[in-house]
């Protein structure tokens, strides 16, 4: 088994996996994350909700000559909504892939830390057993005197 001094020599410097992940991102990946961070908020949800409500109410209740997307079809509203979905769904998938990559990096880092901790604990326990044996010998010699 390794000694404490050997374990100290094997120690790697501590690194922040979040910083490492951030550094691995390309400019496009950072852009995708920035967009999805804003899309995935309650604020964005309320913007879409209010926009939809105003659009539908306007095109149902204002005078007919002011309506630009006639009830009940709302073709323009459906087109714009579908275009938003077509752009946002791939962005969300990209963001999920990036989050998965980050989670994998964290899992690998946790595994390395656990292995290192296991070695250190094993070495510490071995040293404690040796110390316990030495203390027992000392006590035995003291009792025999």
Overall average pLDDT of the 73-93 stretch: 94
- Does the model's pTM come out above 0.75? no
CA dist., res. 67 & res. 75, Å (int) = 12
> Count of alpha carbons within 13 Å of 102, Cβ hemisphere only?
16
Band the pLDDT of 4: cuts 50, 70, 90.
low
Reading phi first (left if > 0) and then psi (alpha if -120 to 50, else beta), residue 32 is in alpha
28-105-30 Cα angle (round to 5): 15
Q: Give the model's pLDDT for residue 2.
A: 67
Residues 36-69: pLDDT tens digits? Answer: 889 889 999 999 999 999 999 999 999 999 999 9
Looking at 6-15, 29-38, 80-89, 125-134, which range is the least confident one? Answer: 6-15
pLDDT single digits (tens) 102-143 = 999 999 999 988 998 898 899 999 999 999 999 999 999 998
């Amino acid at each position: 088994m390794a000694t404490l001094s050997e374990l100290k020599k094997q120690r790697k410097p501590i690194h922040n996996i979040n910083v490492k992940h951030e550094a691995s991102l390309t400019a496009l990946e950072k852009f995708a994350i920035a967009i999805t961070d804003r899309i995935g908020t309650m604020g964005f949800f309320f913007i879409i909700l209010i926009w939809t409500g105003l659009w539908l109410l306007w095109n149902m209740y204002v005078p007919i000559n002011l309506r630009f997307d006639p009830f009940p079809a709302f073709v323009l509203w459906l087109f714009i909504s579908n275009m938003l979905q077509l752009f946002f769904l791939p962005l969300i998938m990209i963001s999920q892939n990036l989050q998965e990559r980050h989670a994998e990096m964290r899992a690998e880092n946790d595994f390395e830390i656990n292995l290192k901790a296991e070695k250190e604990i094993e070495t510490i326990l071995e040293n404690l057993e040796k110390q316990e044996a030495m203390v027992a010998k000392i006590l035995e010699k003291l009792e025999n005197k």
